[in-house]
Amino acid sequence: MAYPNKKDKGWYADWRLPNRKRRRKLMPNKALAEQYESQQKLKIMRGTVGIVESEPVTLREFFNRYFERHTKINKKASAQVTEPFMMRGINKHLGDMRLTDITPEIIEKFKAKRLEEKRNPATINRGLGLLSNIFTKAIEWDVIHTANPLRKVKSFKVNNTRVRYLSRDEITQLLGATKGVLRDIVQIALNTGMRRGEIQKIRRKDINFSNNVFAITDQKNGETSYLPMNRVCREVLSKYRDLADNAQPFAYDFSSTFDRIVKKLEIPNFHFHDLRHTFASSLVMSGIDLNTVRELLRHKSLQMTLRYAHLAPGFKQAAVERLDTYWTPDEKLAGCKRPAARRNPLQPLRHENLDLRRVELLASAMRMQRSTS
């Protein structure tokens, strides 16, 4: 390579070597030598203070690594299906960007674009949760050395108190339109409140006909629960009594068939999960207390069950009426009539039931007895 005149040549020191072995090398020009030398100093400084270069990996590329090394090993089979599906919408906007280039501002723009695509806020929130997990693993695995950008991004506020339940006529219509295994699935959902995934995973060995219970071994919270069977549920499950222990009679995706039937019946704003709401709502409207409903739904706290409280038949009115019978005086209140069996024992005697002359004679006799004594 032809070099310019010696006076234009640049010298640089190899800063990666100790002082005694550090050699000065000739570069084509002084500017290039200074640039190269500054880069070497910067790398050494970063190593000294613990700064490491991030990998130039895109979100799409890293998700493949995340899925193989984390999701397949540590997550349920349902997550292995849903996460790649969720990443389709994410990759459409962010997949080709490097992880280090994704900022909170870019995430906010991504949220806005998903809303423009008519995506449900709850769906967007699940995508943001997946993105946060991906960045967390990228930081743990030393792929990037920046803060998680999702920490500064707020999720949408979602109203989880939606309660859509079927009326008696709608239940009759739905059961009349379904048949075979799908009708059995609907019956199980209506009589147990089980989620779709829980029904799909029912095994023959989980059903105990002797005690009228069946086990749910792979719940949302990872624990095992035991649900009682009523007469309808027992009759439905008895059809599968002779199956092998590990057989799963409902292990198929029946969502599309169910949705098609609901659409044909013109039942508005109804999804399969609403069968669970129908189960809970029917219990509350039958007078079952909320804590029992909570246990049957397997809610961790009563807060989730309180969405059905307004369906209880007059439970607030009954509470204040009970208080009235305990301490309210016997006066005519606004339309309040107390039953005779619960009358306040301190109420005054009614004059029409007494002989006033006898009462007066008895009182005067008692006064004379006190004076003589």
Contacts of 78 (CB under 8 A, 6+ apart): 197
* Residue 128 falls inside a structural domain: yes
Residue 261 lies in a domain: yes
236 and 291 belong to one structural domain: yes
**What pLDDT score does 66 carry?**
95
Domain count, the chain: 3
Asked whether residue 346 is assigned to any structural domain, the reply reads no
- Tell me the residue range of the domain where 21 lies: 6-48
CATH classification of the domain holding 105: 1.10.150.130
Same domain, 192 and 275: yes
| 3-state secondary structure string across the chain | CCCCCHHHCEEEECCCCCCCCCCEEEECCHHHHHHHHHHHHHHHHHHHCCCCCCCCCEHHHHHHHHHHHHHHHHCCHHHHHHHHHHHHHHHHHHCCCEHHHCCHHHHHHHHHHHHHCCCCHHHHHHHHHHHHHHHHHHHHCCCCCCCCHHHHCCCCCCCCCCCCCCCHHHHHHHHHHCCHHHHHHHHHHHHHCCCHHHHHCCCHHHEECCCCEEEECCCCCCCCEEEECCHHHHHHHHHHCCCCCCCCCCCCCCHHHHHHHHHHHCCCCCCCCHHHHHHHHHHHHCCCCHHHHHHHHCCCCHHHHHHHHHHCCCHHHHHHHHHHHHHCCCCCECCECCCHHHCCCCCCCCHHHCCHHHHHHHHHHHHHHHHHC
Give domain status of residue 355, yes or no: no
pLDDT of residue 1: 39
The pLDDT value given to residue 132: 95
Per-residue pLDDT of the chain (373 residues; tens, 9 = 90+): 344 444 444 454 554 555 544 445 555 667 776 777 777 776 666 655 555 667 889 999 999 999 999 999 998 877 888 899 999 999 999 999 999 999 999 999 999 999 999 888 989 999 999 999 999 999 999 899 889 999 999 998 876 666 788 889 999 999 999 999 999 999 999 999 999 988 998 999 999 998 899 888 765 556 788 889 999 999 999 999 999 999 999 988 898 899 999 999 999 888 999 999 999 988 988 888 889 999 999 888 888 888 887 777 666 666 667 665 555 555 544 555 555 554 444 344 444 444 555 556 556 666 666 665 5
* pLDDT given at position 7: 46
Does one domain contain both 174 and 213? yes
Q: In 3D, which of 109, 155, 126, 163 has the Cα closest to residue 293?
A: 163
Which residues on neighbouring strands pair with residue 358, listed in sequence order?
A: none
Tell me if 327 is assigned to some domain.
no
- pLDDT score for 258: 92
In a domain, 118, yes or no: yes
**Which amino acid, 241?**
R
pTM comes to 0.57
Please answer whether residues 52 and 144 qualify as being in contact, where contact means their C-beta atoms are separated by less than 8 angstroms. no
What CATH code is carried by the domain that includes residue 299? Answer: 1.10.443.10
